[in-house]
Amino acid sequence: MKYPKAVIDTKALKHNIEIIRHLAPNSKICAIVKANAYGHGLIDVARSLLKHVEGVGVARIAEAERLRDAGFNNEIILLEGFLGAAELLKLNELKLTTAVHCYEQVELIEKYASSLNNLKVWLKFNTGMNRLGLDADETKEIKNRLERLDCVKEVNLMTHFANADDRTSNYTEEQIAKFNELNQDMFLNRSISASSGILFFPQTRAEWIRPGVIMYGISPTYEPVVNFGFIPVMNFETILSNVFKLKAGCRIANSNQVFSQDMYIGVIALGTSDGYPSQAPEGTPFLVNGRKVSLVGKVNVDTIYVNLGPELKDKMGDKVIVFGKSLPVEEVAKHINVITYELTTKLTTQTKHEYIIN
């Protein structure tokens, strides 16, 4: 047996898609599988989504290429577009849909128009994210330029919110208003919202939606999304590699805690080499035999210590839940002070992925 392991419940994935479908029954779903499907495994996740979504979104052309090589025939949207002529020709060959967010990309499409066919474009309008995107006048001009080309089959309009998880600010409403104003006389198919927008701004459930984290049953905030009915897709687990008694008055390396009585300490087979954050502080929770126990000392390369309490209840080889259905990733992430999906996304290749397929 190889530990740690990420057990991926593809039934939960499909369940989460159904919840999203129920929230946005009139929208096509572009399921975001960038970053190795947020650490869940690009190919296996895409394969289990195949019949349940209209398309998938990736950040880089290499990810799209892996999907096509694996026989994935659905629509693939390149969320950040292409970088240079070689990628443009490659995406045409791979039949990818591409975001267009700058003039350089438009000029390349015009230059290589005779080598391209049936190109589908999502124009990226910057409504305030200020990362990538065109302003209103540029978007209009580029739409006209692209629609003049025979090789362009479809032009859609997309935007991305800056902080749709913050419901105390009206910034998102301003972004929505800007978007609607521009599209008033363009009548393009729209793709406006990612996870937070889908959950908190129903008016943004447009022709296309782009769910990422929520599809994996992970909240875009620290508030668990189980309230919406989502189920965590990844159960990340490992085992106790040792249990020993720490004498009263002694302490674990790098810990300030001195125990007044004998204490059982568990050594967990997990560490920074598995992608677990080194900054996880003392008190970070784990589940051992159904009990919540907490980290003592520091996260090492391959080991973590936890306080198992004054009574001997556990033994080497017992299962440890790092996060998952019984220990929300949101709770763990909040403790460590990292964003929720960082815990799944940063898993290293040392972690074995096991898929429950139904």
Ligand X SMILES: *Cc1c(COP(=O)(O)O)cnc(C)c1O
Residues tagged in the binding site annotation for substrate:
131
- Report the C-alpha gap between 245 and 231 in whole angstroms: 37
190 binds ligand X (CB under 6 A): no
User: What does DSSP assign to residue 274?
Assistant: G
29 binds ligand X (CB under 6 A): no
**Which residue in the set 27, 195, 221, 351 belongs to the binding site for ligand X (CB under 6 A)?**
195
**Which residue in the set 160, 190, 205, 298 belongs to the binding site for ligand X (CB under 6 A)?**
160
Q: How far is the CB of 162 from ligand X (least distance, A)?
A: 12
Q: In this structure, what are the phi and psi dihedrals at residue 2, rounded to the nearest 5 degrees? A: -110, 130
Residue 318 to residues 8, 60, 220, 221, Cα–Cα distance (Å) = 20, 40, 32, 31
Q: Where are the alpha helices (DSSP H) in 70-183?
A: 85-93, 103-111, 136-147, 171-183
Q: For ligand X, which stretch binds (CB under 6 A), given 12-20, 133-141, 206-214, 283-291?
A: 206-214
SS3 345: helix
- Report the C-alpha gap between 228 and 205 in whole angstroms: 16
Q: How far is the CB of 213 from ligand X (least distance, A)?
A: 4
CB 249 within 8 A of CB 282: no
Q: Which is nearer to ligand X, 60 or 319 (CB)?
A: 60
Q: Which is nearer to ligand X, 31 or 322 (CB)?
A: 31
Positions in 240-279 near ligand X (CB under 6 A): none
210 binds ligand X (CB under 6 A): yes
**Which residue in the set 41, 81, 211, 271 belongs to the binding site for ligand X (CB under 6 A)?**
211
CB-based contacts of 183, cutoff 8 Å, min separation 6: 157, 190
140 is catalytic: no
32 binds ligand X (CB under 6 A): yes
Task: State which amino acid sits at residue 203.
Answer: Q
Element (H, E) at 258: none
The residue number whose beta carbon is nearest to ligand X equals 212
Among the options 5, 28, 34, 325, which is catalytic?
A: 34
Q: Where are the alpha helices (DSSP H) in 53-170?
A: 61-69, 85-93, 103-111, 136-147
**Which residue in the set 212, 217, 266, 328 belongs to the binding site for ligand X (CB under 6 A)?**
212
Q: For ligand X, which stretch binds (CB under 6 A), given 64-72, 143-151, 166-174, 211-219?
A: 211-219
213 binds ligand X (CB under 6 A): yes
Burial (CB count <10 Å: 0-12, 13-18, 19+), residue 349: exposed
**Which residue in the set 194, 270, 304, 306 belongs to the binding site for ligand X (CB under 6 A)?**
194
Burial (CB count <10 Å: 0-12, 13-18, 19+), residue 152: buried
Q: For ligand X, which stretch binds (CB under 6 A), given 4-12, 47-55, 199-207, 212-220?
A: 212-220
Closest CA to 266 of 316, 310, 335: 316
Q: Where are the alpha helices (DSSP H) in 184-270?
A: 195-200
CB neighbours of residue 67 within 10 Å: 22
Q: For ligand X, which stretch binds (CB under 6 A), given 20-28, 107-115, 210-218, 235-243?
A: 210-218
Positions in 61-90 near ligand X (CB under 6 A): 79
Q: Which is nearer to ligand X, 92 or 193 (CB)?
A: 193
Q: Which is nearer to ligand X, 213 or 270 (CB)?
A: 213
Catalytic residues: 34
Residues that bind ligand X (CB under 6 A): 32, 34, 79, 160, 194-195, 210-213, 220
